[in-house]
């Protein structure tokens, strides 16, 4: 009997102090919010703003900035021609590798080192010749990263290959075919 009474009292005391604790916590939070937003010029927004670090780097979102790996020459030297052949499937809908075979785009036979827009009988847009003379590996790399940025107005409706490795493998493949 006596034991039950004692434990009930103890339980009551514990509950009581928990309640006091909770009230103190709520009170504290309410005070904090008043303090943080109440006195002009010290809102929470401004407190957070103090921690924004200005990096000066606004290149985020550019296709070129996707991969921060080894430079392109290194990737090209280590390229996997077999993988390049499968990347070419993305181009094959519009480009043949057979000389003189025109699809939506001109034949890419011997394209590495070839003069830009030089396939006879293909109706080029003129946008490519405006920005490059010869399809060296660097020009192809730049063009294939984002065709419409490299050659504004180009008739090639292709978004580009964002991965440096894909471009390196593909260009190595095209180069391996010779011309
Ligand atoms: C939707 C069709 C389409 C796809 C897909 C496409 N191309 Fe093209 N491509 C074209 C057209 C059309 C042109 C002609 C562009 C112009 O005249 O502005 C072109 C032009 C080119 C040229 C310039 C050729 C020259 O004779 O100067 C190269 C190089 C090229 N494409 C490579 C590629 C590669 C590599 C891929 C795959 C990664 C690819 N293209 C995907 C349609 C396409």
Q: How many whole angstroms separate alpha carbon 110 and alpha carbon 88?
A: 14
Ligand 1 in reach of 128 Cβ (< 6 A): yes
State in Å: Cα 24 to ligand 1 middle: 70
Percent of the chain with pLDDT over 90: 60
Higher confidence at residue 33 or residue 111? Answer: 111
Q: How many whole angstroms separate alpha carbon 50 and alpha carbon 19?
A: 37
Band of pLDDT at residue 1, cut at 50, 70 and 90: low
pLDDT digits (tens, 9 = 90+) for 134-176: 999 999 999 999 999 999 999 999 999 999 999 999 999 999 9
Q: How many whole angstroms separate alpha carbon 166 and alpha carbon 67?
A: 11
Residue to mutate (ligand 1; options 105, 107, 161; most atoms within 8 A of CB): 105
State in Å: Cα 68 to ligand 1 middle: 26
State in Å: Cα 78 to ligand 1 middle: 25
Q: How many whole angstroms separate alpha carbon 47 and alpha carbon 36?
A: 9
Which residues, at least 6 apart from 151, have a Cβ–Cβ distance to it below 8 Å? Answer: 127, 128, 130, 131, 132, 143
Ligand 1 in reach of 63 Cβ (< 6 A): no
User: Whose CA is closest to atom 37 on ligand 1?
Assistant: 91
Given the CA of residue 153, which atom of ligand 1 is nearest to it? 18
Instruction: Judge whether 179 and 110 are in contact, CB under 8 Å.
Output: yes
pLDDT digits (tens, 9 = 90+) for 41-51: 454 444 455 55
Instruction: Judge whether 88 and 173 are in contact, CB under 8 Å.
Output: yes
Sign of CA dihedral 13, 19, 22, 23: negative
Ligand 1 in reach of 6 Cβ (< 6 A): no
Q: How many whole angstroms separate alpha carbon 26 and alpha carbon 139?
A: 65
Which residues, at least 6 apart from 97, have a Cβ–Cβ distance to it below 8 Å? Answer: 88, 107, 108, 109, 177
Ligand 1 in reach of 144 Cβ (< 6 A): yes
């Amino acid at each position: 009997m006596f034991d039950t009474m004692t434990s009930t009292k103890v339980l009551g005391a514990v509950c009581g102090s928990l309640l006091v604790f909770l009230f103190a916590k709520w009170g504290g939070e309410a005070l904090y919010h008043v303090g943080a937003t109440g006195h002009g010029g010290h809102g929470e927004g401004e407190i957070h703003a103090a921690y924004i670090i200005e990096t000066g780097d606004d290149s985020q979102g550019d296709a070129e900035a996707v991969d921060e790996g080894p430079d392109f020459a290194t990737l090209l030297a280590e390229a996997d021609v077999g993988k390049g052949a499968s990347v070419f499937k993305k181009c094959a809908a519009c480009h043949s590798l057979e000389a003189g075979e025109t699809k939506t785009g001109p034949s890419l036979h011997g394209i590495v080192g070839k003069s830009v827009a030089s396939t006879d009988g293909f109706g080029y847009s003129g946008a490519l010749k405006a920005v490059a003379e010869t399809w060296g590996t660097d020009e192809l790399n730049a063009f294939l990263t984002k065709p419409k940025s490299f050659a504004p107005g180009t008739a090639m409706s292709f978004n580009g290959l964002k991965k440096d490795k894909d471009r390196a493998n593909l260009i190595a493949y095209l180069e391996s075919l010779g011309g």
